Amino acid sequence: MADYIVEMKHITKRFPGIIANDDVSIQIKKGEIYALLGENGAGKSTLMSMLFGMYEPDEGEIYIRGEKVKLESPNHATKLNIGMVHQHFKLVSNYTIAENIIMGMEPVKKAFGFIPVVDIKKANEEIKALSEKYGLAVNPTDLISELNVSTQQRVEILKMLYREAEILIFDEPTAVLTPQEIEFLLEIIKGLRDNGKTIILITHKLEEIKRIADRCAILNRGKLIDVLDVATTSTKTMANLMVGRAVSFETEKKPANFGEVVLDVNNLNVMNKQDFRIVKDVSFQIHAGEILAIAGVAGNGQVELADAIAGLMPVHSGTILLSGEDITNMPIRQRTLQGISYIPEDRQNYGLVMNFTLSENLALKDYFKEPYCHKGVLDHREFFENSERLIEKYDIRSGQGSETIVRSMSGGNQQKAIIAREIELDSHLMIFVQPTRGLDIGAIENIHSQMIAERDKGHAILLISLELDEIMDCADTIAVIYNGEIQKIAPADTLTANEVGEFMMGVKKQGKREEASV
């Protein structure tokens, strides 16, 4: 037994209304990368929060290096050389990198021989040396507020290493990173293992596990399903176990049946806050029963385009027609009533009121109408009934049902709530901006099938996504945007993923190909 550095035995943890962990036992060897795989809300983070001393288990025991321990606080866990990188970084934004790392363990020198002061010079040197040792190049005197997300994450890793952590827990570390940054992070994690550290990786991304993990524990709804050797297991098997049913990697789709034009965008131009033309002369149409997907690398104007159609950004020039009616300068609520559903990219800031209950959030788009509102007075019973119905229909999981504060829900269920609300509006046009970002495979599959079901009902759908796979799977028509301009617009079955990729990079131009063929 001594070769296990961490053992968690028969752990059970209950929260009001939910069993987060149900008799879970895991054993982790020294020097391995151990992945915890599970859907959003499967209890991975809760389990690790207990290992890090943030919660105490209701039942069960924890052994570290063969010794039974009762972890009372993160402080205590730190003393046992356990470190954790949280999903939300715990950094002080107006401090330097070095100040953040040393906080709580500052090197001290004596000013005038007796007054203890923080020795920031020594700290800077120590951090510099530490970051070089592990190949995490950072400049100790940079301010946190000036760093990008991936560097901030490196600071969090350094924080653990500075505290001489041997067991490193990463909570969904790649959720906030770009593909290149993910590559870099995975290399760092491998490097840490090669330095003898034990890594616990919480994730729902199968590719990452396949790439770096040694073993993988799969959780579903709080229960431990299986522990697998990653090398000998296929991603398909892992996915099925994680979701608890057979997952189809391919989206099933009936042939499209186009109706009338629903959305007609003509020569649309949008300026961003810096008065830079970010959407340039964009024109396209979406028919009833069509999914038009806009493909593009992040920051090429696709989000601004969607915002302009939804009314969040003013249109500089050009027109937007919805079912023949000019909505170019209509206020947002008017547009909603005309028939636009909008699933925003930033779900926490634009999609939900985080401190409201689920039932209130589910009525955000029609609370001012009958039956929710009689002559200006809200009817909370209607809110409740509506929300109970949607929770059931869309399988929105939360601690206290309709009364749950949305902030406490997992990201996947927050997104489910938004989608439920927007689909229920039964709008002619539904705009999905990155609907599956940060979600696990089961939730993604679910959202895709809902989107396609809406198409089949005869709604027009505008899908904006950075994931090429998602676009290839779902779209009937693909428009590729680069630098604010539509490079190419064509039926999905006439394009390959490679071609779309080239248009996205701006490498290939519609005009050029025609010239070449002449």
Partner 1 sequence: MDIIIIDGLSFALPLFIMAIGGIYCEKSGVTMLAIEGLQGVGAFIGALMAVLFAGNFAGNSPVPFYIAMIFATIGGSVFALLHALLCLKFKANQVISGVVVNIMAMALTAYLTKLLNRLIFGAASDKFVLAVSARITIPGLSKIPLMGAVFTNLYPFEIVIIIVAFLAWFVMYRTRFGMHLRACGDNPHAVDAAGRDVNKIRLAAIMICGALSGLGGICFAYSISANFSASIYVGYGYLAIAALIFGNWRILPTLGACLLFGFARSGGYRLVQVLQMPSSYQDLVMILPYVLTLLLLVFFSKQNGAPRALGEIYDKGAR
Binding stretches for partner 1 (CB under 8 A): 73-75, 78, 86, 88, 90-95, 99-100, 103-106, 108, 111, 115-118, 407-408
> Residue 103 or residue 312: which is nearer to partner 1 going by CB?
103
The nearest distance, CB 300 to partner 1, in angstroms, is 31
The nearest distance, CB 94 to partner 1, in angstroms, is 5
> Residue 126 or residue 467: which is nearer to partner 1 going by CB?
126
> Residue 60 or residue 74: which is nearer to partner 1 going by CB?
74
Residue 340 and residue 429 in contact, taking contact as beta carbons nearer than 8 Å: yes
> Residue 86 or residue 221: which is nearer to partner 1 going by CB?
86
Residue 173 and residue 185 in contact, taking contact as beta carbons nearer than 8 Å: yes
> Residue 94 or residue 232: which is nearer to partner 1 going by CB?
94
> Residue 109 or residue 389: which is nearer to partner 1 going by CB?
109
The nearest distance, CB 2 to partner 1, in angstroms, is 29
Dihedral angle over CA of 41, 45, 48, 53, nearest 10: -110
Alpha helix (H) residue ranges in 288-373? 302-310, 332-339, 358-362
Q: If you count DSSP H runs as helices and E runs as strands, how many of each does the chain have, helices first?
A: 17, 24
The nearest distance, CB 93 to partner 1, in angstroms, is 6
| Cα 182 from Cα 40, distance rounded (Å) | 20
> Residue 139 or residue 408: which is nearer to partner 1 going by CB?
408
- Residues in Cβ contact with 207 at an 8 Å cutoff, skipping those fewer than 6 apart: 235
Query: Residues 71, 74, 77, 82: is their CA dihedral positive or negative?
Result: positive
Measured CA to CA in angstroms, residue 274 lies from 116, 270, 349 at distances of 48, 11, 21
Look up residue 434 and give its DSSP letter: S
Cα 28 from chain centroid (whole Å) = 27
| Cα 510 from Cα 298, distance rounded (Å) | 21
The nearest distance, CB 116 to partner 1, in angstroms, is 7
The nearest distance, CB 34 to partner 1, in angstroms, is 22
Q: What percent of the chain is helix, strand and coil (3-state, nearest 5)?
A: 35, 30, 35
> Residue 166 or residue 473: which is nearer to partner 1 going by CB?
166
> Residue 86 or residue 437: which is nearer to partner 1 going by CB?
86
Q: Are strands 429-433 and 460-465 parallel, antiparallel or unpaired?
A: parallel
The nearest distance, CB 70 to partner 1, in angstroms, is 17
Q: Is the peptide bond before 371 cis (omega within 30 degrees of 0)?
A: yes
The nearest distance, CB 185 to partner 1, in angstroms, is 20
Cα 503 from chain centroid (whole Å) = 26
Q: Is the peptide bond before 140 cis (omega within 30 degrees of 0)?
A: no
Please name every residue paired with 282 in a beta bridge, in sequence order, or none if there are none.
268
The nearest distance, CB 99 to partner 1, in angstroms, is 7
> Residue 159 or residue 448: which is nearer to partner 1 going by CB?
159
The nearest distance, CB 117 to partner 1, in angstroms, is 4
The nearest distance, CB 487 to partner 1, in angstroms, is 39
| Cα 467 from Cα 297, distance rounded (Å) | 9
| Cα 39 from Cα 441, distance rounded (Å) | 8
**SS3 category, 319:** strand
- Residues in Cβ contact with 343 at an 8 Å cutoff, skipping those fewer than 6 apart: 351, 415, 418, 419, 422, 430, 431, 432, 433, 435
> Residue 126 or residue 485: which is nearer to partner 1 going by CB?
126
Q: Dump strand ranges (E) for 257-370.
A: 261-271, 277-287, 291-295, 317-322, 325-326, 340-343
The nearest distance, CB 12 to partner 1, in angstroms, is 19
> Residue 334 or residue 348: which is nearer to partner 1 going by CB?
348
| Cα 423 from Cα 409, distance rounded (Å) | 20
